[in-house]
Structure 1
Amino acid sequence: MPLPNDKNTSALQQLTFLDDLVASERRNISDVIFRRIRDAIISGELPPGYVFPNENELCKKLNIGRSSLREAYSPLETLKLISRSKAGTYVNDLDIYQNAMNFEAIAKQTDVKNIAEYRQIFEIGAIQLAAKRATEKNVTRLREILKKMEEVPEDSVALSQYDFEFHAYLMKMTHNELLIVMFNSIRNAYKNLTESIFAMGCLPTTINEHLAIVDAIADHDSALAAHMMQLHLSNIESFRNRQSAAAGKASEK
């Protein structure tokens, strides 16, 4: 539950780790804020019970919109790092999310083959549930994310961010807390992998496959959605293997 902040330190003053956001980070501002708050909670810099400033006050400090702040809060809430209520947004006890953090630590150290296999097993099953429970609003949101990807075809960092947002939103559509937490736990490993893949130039194929997935979801066709996801993940892995092999041959010359 929320506790009074230090009487000698305002809620804003305890967020000094957000003061030096540089211009190069602002294109992924919600992700940067998420990671910094997460790290501050894990380190104890933000203790259990710490109450965040209200949204308007914090957005003004960081010069961001409320949507960006809420995007940063969303995975923090999913991982049980924070809770949000009428009383405000506050930091939870560490033991609530310790298992998720342990899984994330393992994911950071695993190799790309394990991540690829994990996604094949995990996402193909999850998307069937997402297709069954999808609403018109969900489908619209997925298409909006894909439109953002099309607007930054040369920016592998932004593409990786939007790609994760797309797949994480699919998990959110399942309304299954375990699936959502597990997927968010591989956030960093996922982005590192997809950023390198987008840098190799696979965007056109990825967009088309994502569109096919969304179309299947819009029709609530779980079987087709699962098939398109399997095809998408297999194509990504094949593309990565081909590019890695080509790079290896080039280095031997």
Structure 2
Amino acid sequence: MMKKDDATTPERIVRRKLSDQVFERLRDLMSSGELPPGAPMPSERDLMERFGVGRPAVREALQHMHTMGLITISHGERSRVNELSAGSVLSRVDDVARMLLSSEPDQLDHLKQARRMFECGLVREAARQATPADVADLRDLIDRQRAVTREAQLFVSLDMAFHTRIAAISGNPILTATSQSMLRWLFQYHGILLHWSGNEEITLIEHQEIADRIAAADADGAVRVMQAHLDRSTDLYTHGNGQGTALD
């Protein structure tokens, strides 16, 4: 039963910005397939006529779509609808993630913990699903790492590629993109402070053990080796004293 006060209190009508409404209309056109990936966006004049709004509302809506990665605006050319993927969506938050890690250092420990849980799950699935081609790719990445032990940044890039390749064995693009993002955020946070710590050979041995467990379809063994691998790398991280180290 409605209270007396409720009956006499009018419901507020919220006035919404025209640009927000244009944005929602355009987003609906993309969702319905009327504006598919790769399609050119209608001209500003066409959008003004279609939605009955002025140029400022259209431009603000298009800029919002560009910022969100839904379209690409190129000077002198028609804007186009972007093809969305898990990777492209997650990459949009890179700057925010870097700011979060810098402004709230405790979040770095949370990220490392999340990565440990995530990667142990991934390596278990990899041991269950890996094909000979998957294992060959992992061994090739290890060989390439071994060839660049004196080039820290390249070694770390191949380190990231090794872990991402394990994620890719799942066949799930969201898992692969999430793995890439976690590694990228860690690298971006530690990248400026990166120095080499003389643990290249240990990393290579541990990567080899992980690949061997995956090749043997030993899920429990793969998880055990991955846990030890990530725990060791976490112990090597230093925070706030001007030093850094490799991702693992």
TM-score (norm 1): 0.58
How far the C-alpha of 1:204 sits from its partner, in A, is 0.8
How far the C-alpha of 1:208 sits from its partner, in A, is 0.4
Q: C-alpha distance in 2, partners of 1:135/1:215?
A: 13
Q: Could you tell me which of 152, 165, 168 is aligned with 1:156?
A: 152
Q: C-alpha distance in 2, partners of 1:50/1:125?
A: 32
Counterpart code for 1:150? R
Counterpart code for 1:181? A
Work out whether residues 127 and 226 of structure 1, in 8 Å CA contact, stay in contact via their aligned partners in 2: yes
- Alpha-carbon spacing, 1:198–1:176, altered in 2? closer, same or farther (3 Å): farther
Q: C-alpha distance in 1, partners of 2:72/2:41?
A: 14
Comparing 133-142 and 153-162, the one that deviates more: 153-162
Q: Could you tell me which of 111, 114, 124 is aligned with 1:128?
A: 124
- Alpha-carbon spacing, 1:177–1:45, altered in 2? closer, same or farther (3 Å): same
How far the C-alpha of 1:133 sits from its partner, in A, is 0.6
Indicate the structure with greater helix content.
Answer: 1
- Alpha-carbon spacing, 1:237–1:193, altered in 2? closer, same or farther (3 Å): farther
**Cα offsets for 1:64-111 (capped at 9, x unmatched):** xxxxxxxxxxxx8551x4xxxxxxxxxxxxxxx3xx346544532324
Counterpart code for 2:134? N
Describe the SS at the equivalent of 1:152.
coil
Q: C-alpha distance in 2, partners of 1:202/1:115?
A: 22
Counterpart code for 1:113? D
How far the C-alpha of 1:191 sits from its partner, in A, is 2.4
Q: C-alpha distance in 2, partners of 1:198/1:151?
A: 18
Counterpart code for 1:204? E
Work out whether residues 71 and 80 of structure 2, in 8 Å CA contact, stay in contact via their aligned partners in 1: no
Q: C-alpha distance in 1, partners of 2:189/2:95?
A: 16
How far the C-alpha of 1:116 sits from its partner, in A, is 1.8
CA RMSD of aligned residues (A): 3.3
- Alpha-carbon spacing, 1:246–1:49, altered in 2? closer, same or farther (3 Å): closer
Q: C-alpha distance in 1, partners of 2:165/2:177?
A: 12
Describe the SS at the equivalent of 1:186.
helix
Tell me the equivalent position of 1:3.
39
Counterpart code for 2:182? I
Q: C-alpha distance in 2, partners of 1:217/1:150?
A: 20
Q: Could you tell me which of 64, 73, 81 is aligned with 1:49?
A: 81
List gaps (5 residues or longer) in structure 1.
7-38, 52-75, 82-96, 248-253
Q: Could you tell me which of 202, 220, 241 is aligned with 1:205?
A: 202
Describe the SS at the equivalent of 1:200.
coil
Matched, 1:107 2:139: no
Q: C-alpha distance in 2, partners of 1:126/1:245?
A: 32
- Alpha-carbon spacing, 1:3–1:172, altered in 2? closer, same or farther (3 Å): same
Counterpart code for 2:130? A
Q: C-alpha distance in 2, partners of 1:102/1:40?
A: 7
Q: Could you tell me which of 174, 180, 187 is aligned with 1:184?
A: 180
Q: C-alpha distance in 2, partners of 1:197/1:231?
A: 22
- Alpha-carbon spacing, 1:221–1:244, altered in 2? closer, same or farther (3 Å): farther
Counterpart code for 1:167? H
Counterpart code for 1:232? H
Q: C-alpha distance in 2, partners of 1:240/1:50?
A: 38
Q: Could you tell me which of 172, 177, 182 is aligned with 2:168?
A: 172
How far the C-alpha of 1:178 sits from its partner, in A, is 2.8
- Alpha-carbon spacing, 1:220–1:123, altered in 2? closer, same or farther (3 Å): same
Counterpart code for 2:214? I
Q: C-alpha distance in 1, partners of 2:189/2:142?
A: 19
Q: Percent identity?
A: 20
How far the C-alpha of 1:216 sits from its partner, in A, is 0.1
Q: C-alpha distance in 2, partners of 1:225/1:131?
A: 7
Tell me the equivalent position of 1:19.
none
Counterpart code for 2:81? G
**Cα offsets for 1:133-170 (capped at 9, x unmatched):** 10000000001111111111111110111011010111
Work out whether residues 127 and 174 of structure 1, in 8 Å CA contact, stay in contact via their aligned partners in 2: no
